[in-house]
Structure 1
Amino acid sequence: MIQVLRKRGVRLTLTATAGVVACALGFFAWQTFYPVQASDGWHVQVLHRDVAKAASLLPLADGSLLVSRELDDGLGSILKITPQGERVVVVDGLSKPDGMVAVEGGWVFSQEGGLAPVSVSRDGQITALFNGESVQGLWNDGDHLYAIEDRKGDGRLMRYDWQSGQVEVLRSALTETEGLTRCSGGQLLYTEKAAGKIRALNEGGEDPVVAEGLRNPTFLFCDQRGLWISEDSTHRARLLRIDADGKRHTVLSFLKAPQSIVPDGKGGYLLAEGGRDRVLHLSPPEQELDAHVASLDAQ
Structure 2
Amino acid sequence: MVEHGVGPGAKPGADPASEGIPAAPTRQQTLRLAMAQMCSGKSHAPNVAAVTELAGEAAAKGAELLALPEVGGLVNKDHASAREMVTVEEADPYVAACRALAARHGLWINTGSTPVVEGADPRFINRGHLIDPTGAIVARYDKIHLFDVDLPGEKPRRESDRFRAGDEAVMAATPWGAVALSICYDLRFPHLYRAYAKAGASILFIPSAFTVPTGEAHWEPLLRARAIENGCFVVAPAQGGAHDDGRHTWGHSMVVDPWGRVLVDMETSPGLSVVDLDLSAVAAARRSIPSLVNERPFRFVTA
Please report the TM-score for the alignment, with normalisation by the length of structure 2: 0.33
Structure showing greater Rg? 1
Structure number with higher strand proportion: 1
Greater length-normalized contact order (CA 8 Å, ≥ 6 residues apart) = 2
